[in-house]
Structure 1
């Protein structure tokens, strides 16, 4: 588990790695007429398998909209999202639910644990809902690596914020998804707990072959990633390999200044991304 210090530089990652998920000419508009807002403006991007990618940008820049649209939690206005040979933009709600249930994990800032259930039950909930049996060896590896083996029978209100987020991470990974989307996963944590959570996300990529795409406002969090994308006004403003906290802070300040000069920002999308949306219709 990582400590609170800044991580060591990342090794070079092969840019030719196959894409875990890809957006092609992705457009998302809200409203109509004079009130129409272009949240995503023809975005083209691929997130490679086995990499940890951070998405940053000023509030309302489109970064969360990108995550919601690429995961199928929100409908695109036009364009395509390609995942495991499927175009998500042409799928119905039931098809999307089944695909997410087995292919995509979700981690959110608010943890979204079910308060009446134990940590063990929360972790296994996606499999319970799907009627699948857990891989006990994988379960033991996850909870052991996350350091929550001795907290499995505790309910969420008996856990610290960092422990709750680790339970949420185990829940996201229990089904061995091809891709994990993390929306501000350290936003409710202190610096020490944040470093531990980010360290595990990075190790899940490095040691377990996971693919993680994380939305964050924190340059230090982005420095744990192999790659960082900066969004501004619905477009990609920067694409950085091996990001540092200093570089990402500089880029974010530049884009905030530009957004301020432009006199407006993209409104935040409806918060549809509750964790159960990944498993239930």
Structure 2
């Protein structure tokens, strides 16, 4: 990563599995720069299930990829397990991801020629390490895979394949698991099954999970849900329900719509001023169209934990 930071070390919050401090991520430069992360400050607690929601292009996936060291930060700090990821080189980040961070993706990425058991053990096989059989047995029992270990991926349902992927992510006993749209390719029944197992892995196995999702129902399984927009956290809900998360997302869409309308009108007024001289037309609510039927954008919500 190796971003520009101050020499003084930054201390992580007590109880944090991973923490972002003034995290900035820009793509491009000059007039074409895209500010994907705008000074994000957030801490994810150990042994908790956190969901990150937001519209497409909000920066939520960029946040996850940057926290995991898959993408470099422009500035700021990422504090994990006593180290600052922004000060690590590529080799150090690779070793960290191999041993201390697990990943669950929308695509299962199982190797079709291997059995479920072989796929689960693959991270250890590649590292030349022997599995902890007690931990392996606990995982397959918790995930309901005991009767499927000899099956190849083509012999498993989508939900079963994702459970194998979850077990593979947990087999190395990572301190943190990132899940990127883990139910995106599943039907509603399989989605509920997988989300239930993720929650159980937190409650029963002590895992820490950070999940990116578009789905308010998926977010309702988490202990905490963040709403992300324009590279910033705009809501933080400590008791997420599907209804609450849908309302927060709707409020953010209405705010974004009104902001876009205001910007468009300001541009038009600026062009008029350039042609006809200064224009003294105030930008008020009565000249803006309604956004989603609401007269005023909902305020940013932040609920106390």
Deviation, structure 1 residue 263: 4.3
Distance verdict in 2 for CA 1:112–1:257, change over 3 Å: farther
Q: TM-score, normalised by structure 2?
A: 0.79
1:231 maps to 2:228 = yes
Q: In the alignment, which residue of structure 1 is the partner of 2:35?
A: 38
Q: TM-score, normalised by structure 1?
A: 0.86
Q: In the alignment, which residue of structure 2 is the partner of 1:248?
A: 245
Q: In the alignment, which residue of structure 2 is the partner of 1:276?
A: none
Q: In the alignment, which residue of structure 1 is the partner of 2:181?
A: 184
d(CA) in 2 for partners of 1:214 and 1:18?
A: 19
Distance verdict in 2 for CA 1:259–1:98, change over 3 Å: same
Deviation, structure 1 residue 189: 0.7
d(CA) in 2 for partners of 1:137 and 1:94?
A: 30
Work out whether residues 17 and 49 of structure 1, in 8 Å CA contact, stay in contact via their aligned partners in 2: no
Matches within 5 A, 1:75-94: 75-94=72-91
Partner of 1:220, secondary structure, is: helix
The match for 2:62 among 65, 83, 91 is: 65
User: 5+ unaligned residues in a row in structure 1: which ranges?
Assistant: 1-15, 265-281
Larger radius of gyration: 2
Deviation, structure 1 residue 149: 1.4
Deviation, structure 1 residue 253: 1.4
Distance verdict in 2 for CA 1:17–1:163, change over 3 Å: farther
User: 5+ unaligned residues in a row in structure 2: which ranges?
Assistant: 1-12, 262-305
Q: Which moved more, 1:254-263 or 1:87-96?
A: 254-263
Deviation, structure 1 residue 87: 0.6
Deviation, structure 1 residue 17: 6.4
Question: Higher relative contact order by CA 8 Å / sep ≥ 6: 1 or 2?
Answer: 1
d(CA) in 2 for partners of 1:258 and 1:65?
A: 22
Q: In the alignment, which residue of structure 2 is the partner of 1:195?
A: 192
